[in-house]
Structure 1
Amino acid sequence: MLLDLLHLLTTPAPRAQRRLGYLRDSIWLMSRARRCRRAWAPHLEASRAVMRAAIAGVERRDTAVVLGSGLLLDVPLADLAGAFRRVVLVDAVHLRPARRAIRAFPNVEALTADLSGAMALMTGAARDLDPGLPSVCAAPETGLVISANLLSQLPIRPVERLEASRRPLGPWTPNDGDAFGRRIIEGHLDALAGLTARVCLVTDLDEIEEDRQEQVHARHDLLYGVRLGNPESAWSWELAPFGEMARNRRLIHRVAGFSNWRP
């Protein structure tokens, strides 16, 4: 708890990211990753394997971009730094452990950006959703763009903010949030589809809550009905093992990996 507070107070982050909860979410994720490192290990290695396959298939070795670089636990940073002249890591927040890892590679840089496209809308700086990617993604020298376990995360805070802001103004239904979440996901995919660079996509698809008898108590579609086609690889991620969320319940995410995604 004290370590989390220290990160909350000392991590450089734009005010909007703090207001919308992105910094707090990143710190919470770091704490859970530390507690659940054994349960997460197969998922992290499977994610890195998909990204390594993408690296191996790239001909243009000038620039690589990682969207949703986060804590870098699922990103083969050394492989990227060794294969490309320049590596750009993009996320809303870069915590201290990630910044420390980046310093080991002189050709790796961090870029702070909102990848949901919704931050400007939520803070009143824009009137509509803008899911555009950083310009480096479309640069002619960029050979690889990785969306790293990011897609399902993009709508979480914006949908919560929509719900909170609309309740005082009138009736709010889950369909409103679902439609907005789907727009954010489709916007990210449309932006990726417009790139000439190779696109590597790793994302969780749905969440299952089950008990120790493997009885399913809840299932959630994390992509709001968006379908991605048949992945090259798929696996289960034990996001919250027994005892993390509840003594006799655990959360499992189904994950898909595409080393060369196209719609």
Structure 2
Amino acid sequence: MHTTMTTKWDVKVLGSVGAGLLAMAAVFLWRDLQVPRELLLTVAACVAAGLALVRIPMTRGLLGPIAVLTCAVAGGLWYGATKQELLLVGLAVTLAVSVVTLLRSRPGPGEAPDRVRDVLSWYGLTTAAIAASWSFYFHYLTLGIAEDNVARRLVLTLGWLVVGVALVLTGRQRGTPVMRDAGFAFVAIAVGKALLYDTMNLHGTLRVAGLAVAGALMLGAAWLTSRAPAASRSA
């Protein structure tokens, strides 16, 4: 008992000091070397990766998923407000870290699944994917190669819808409710964009085609769902 408590204390002390020193290094890196502040998102994503890879006792492995979700939300809002290109690096790193975090959230041998950790990990990945895809779309299509092509507006709508449907069907097949819920999050934002944005900014054939393809995807998903009963819940 004494050894266990001593180990936990040692981990807390060493971890706290190490985190503090890294935070100071980040502050002086920004101030002394005049590193662009947009790169702080990349630094934060790397810190989130460290938290995901090294599970700190007494935290149930929640620090990593929480940090990833925070980076994804903050990064998406930051890019939406400033449109700074350097933020794309941080968003890409955040998306990669969210995948690693999700893989790390799987219970080990003899370890019971943690519902809260699974939800945070999946929604961290979902938020990171949505934020990164929208940011890259806006930078490279809206402001770049497809600036004059309004058909680009269907890229995100249909892309998010396909990903969402795939996650819903896969989650049902595997008996993983949180994957299914993440899929419905993609579906919801895609349908919302189609109804509130695409129908107002597209006209003629493009508007009809976008709604028709989206509707066909939803009907196809409904048909596949009715044909394949949900598996028993695995977590």
Taking structure 2 as the reference length, the TM-score comes to 0.28
Q: Which has the larger radius of gyration?
A: 2
- Structure with bigger strand share is 1
Task: Name which structure has the greater RCO, CA cutoff 8 Å, separation 6+.
Answer: 1
Taking structure 1 as the reference length, the TM-score comes to 0.26
